[in-house]
Amino acid sequence: MNFHYGTDRLTVAHTLAIAKRQLKGILHDSARQAIAASEAHVQKIVDQQTTVYGINTGFGILANTSISAEDTRTLQYKILQSHSVGVGNPIPTEVAKIMLITKVHALAQGFSGAQLSTLERMIWHIDNDIIPVVPEKGSVGASGDLAPLSHLCLPLIGLGEVIVNGEIKPTREVLQQYNLAPVQLGPKEGLALINGTQFILSFAVKAVERMHYALEAADIIGAMSLEALTGTSAPFDERLHQLRPYTGNQLVAQRLRLLLGNSDIMQSHIDCGRVQDPYSLRCMPQVHGASRTAWLHLKELTETELNSVTDNPIIFSAHDTISGGNFHGQPMALPLDYCCFAAAEAGNISDRRSYLLLEGKWGLPVLLMNNVGLNSGFMIPQYTTAALVTENKTLCFPASADSIPTSLGQEDHVSMGSISGRKLNTVLDNLEYILAIELMSACQAIEFRRPLKSSAILEAAHGYVRSFVSFAEEDRIFAVDILKIRQMLSDFSFVQHVNTWATQQGVTLNEQYPAFSL
């Protein structure tokens, strides 16, 4: 089964599948026709010497500077060079690949004046995993992601660097190896390539995927902590959440009911007399649910952006062009910042549960180890969660609240959405470590409830962790354990294992809420 660039609707799931080589993206004949027609419109504009921004004028503040017909192609070559000013480390290769995928899909809709040969070369890069090196910093998120997109497209004209099998190589060397010549850009094409939101968008796609799995893991891990702390499932009663019917809250409450169902540990203290649990246990539906709502908003807007044309000017015909602002990143910058807060809060409440597990209450040993004093037990891992939570708080300043004029005031309001996207993924890095430490602590604590067992689903989760990390009788280098558990969160195998196991038992954790799936 193939995905058709420019004609099919692109989803987050499709984008990730193409990036992971699970789905192949191709150009349908109808897209090829639209691309050819758009290219012809641009050539007609040049031949008739109709003044259109970016085709036969300069860029930005130079919009009133005319460019001769013979120089229109040179202009497009130069814009890729002049705008390649990114700095910092290369972005993850998968994110750069997603930039290529999303740029092809936008151009293939036939409103940008790109050549068919250029799109075919970009698809060649995608299919062969020859991915441009894109520096992480330099975009202000309007007029699109100019600097990172320039670096992304340098290899098309034989410049810049690419990553092949994890190794950075000069583009010219790789093109020679494949007997390929650089693309000769057409009029407007350089501007079409670098004008757009694909840097912001690609970080959003990764954030949607990563945050989905982090929130799925948070519910499972939170349920394990509640079991270890002999908390009650009463606050997850469906009737309670029907009285405040936020869908995200209802989803989390349902998941917690299913995760805790038929637990021996839960039944063992049903009449213990405890009136209320701390908020970090009792309010998981409200807190995790609010983060779920933010995630859903980001997913919905990301999929709108995935199917949008975001360069400038837009070519409807040789006689109908509009110079507008579809390149402005604000529609993505705001939800990315919102999700930054939501991800940080998921880490904040997780840290509180890790702390509760150490207090020595409700039958657990202080610091989750019997021989403390000589041993520090699980005291210090919680220091790490505290540090990461505070780091996330410092990253919660909304980049979209700032704007610095550029292009001598022509571009006088910018979104800074590129920073929002990068920042959210940094918060998600920290969240995965925070959750890993809670999961390590919860697995340790549950073993002090033996011979009682948790629910079958949570025992499967516990068993999966124990296949990598053993119970700690005494102190050891816990950083090693944290890295192993974080890996099973970042590669999504922990959640996938639990979901697969639950499905085999006839339990579908998200069945009633399909919108919250990838």
Would you please indicate which residues are annotated as catalytic (active-site) residues?
Answer: 53
Which residue shows structure tokens 């690609």?
A: 202
**Tokens linked to 379:** 């005291």
Name the nearest CA neighbour of 151 among 134, 170, 136: 134
Phi, psi of 136 (to 5 degrees): -80, -20
Cβ contact 129:164 at 8 Å:
yes
3-state class of 75 per DSSP?
A: helix
Owner of token pair 């805790």: 260
Quote the tokens at residue 505: 């038992």
- DSSP H or E run through 168: strand 167-170
Nearest to 332 by CA among 138, 142, 194, 201: 201
Q: How open is the CA angle 231-233-237, to the nearest 5 degrees?
A: 155
Residues 460, 465, 468, 472: what is their CA dihedral angle, to the nearest 10 degrees?
A: -120
Can you read off the two tokens belonging to residue 236? Answer: 């997850």
What are the distances in angstroms from CA 114 to CA 37, 122, 315, 367? 10, 12, 10, 62
Q: Which residues pair with 5 in a beta bridge?
A: 27
| CA angle (156, 406, 208) in 5-degree steps | 60
Q: What is the 3-state secondary structure (H, E, C) of 128-156?
A: CCEEECCEEECCCCCCCCHHHHHHHHHHH
Which tokens in the block code for residue 127? 């299919």
- With a CB cutoff of 8 Å and minimum separation 6, the contacts of 142 are 325, 327, 328, 329, 330, 411, 413, 414, 415, 417
Token couple for 344: 């940080």
Inter-residue contact 344 to 423 (CB < 8 Å): no
Are 305 and 331 contacting, i.e. CB atoms less than 8 angstroms apart? yes
